[in-house]
Amino acid sequence: MRQSEQGLTLVEILVAIVILAMGLLVLGGGSLVVTRDLTRSGLSTVATARAEAKLDELRTLAASTSPACGSANFTSSVSPTLIEKVTLSWTITPDFGAQRTVRVMTSYVLPGNRSHADTLQALVGC
């Protein structure tokens, strides 16, 4: 072989392919994590929005009657409600007094069939 010939040997090409393949595997694994986290945050955002909307609805119901908190619809949920992949339920305690604690619970299924639950709590004046 002459010194003036240029090019890559088979070993150099194989090493370059292995390094490229490892880099592509790392990028692929990273994209899976990003996709999973985006799905999780999207579900969390929907659940939080549903909980806040329900809390606003309950506040409106509480203020809609005289005396306040007298609406027949201002009560705890009887059974959970499913809205856009989010299960929603709420409790109102106590049933008397000038102030009520409202808890809105949300739950949803994450990728991998794991469930997650959150609770939004607020005080409503009567």
Residue 5 has pLDDT above 80, yes or no: no
What pLDDT score was predicted for residue 28?
84
Residue 2 has pLDDT above 70, yes or no: no
What pLDDT score was predicted for residue 29?
81
Q: Does some domain include residue 106?
A: yes
Cα–Cα dist 92/83, whole Å: 20
Q: Does some domain include residue 5?
A: no
Mean pLDDT, rounded, for 86-107: 94
For all residues of the chain together, what is the average pLDDT? 90
Q: Which domain holds residue 34?
A: 10-125
Q: Does some domain include residue 80?
A: yes
DSSP secondary structure code for residue 73 in this structure: T
What pLDDT score was predicted for residue 50?
95
Q: Does some domain include residue 4?
A: no
Cα–Cα dist 19/93, whole Å: 62
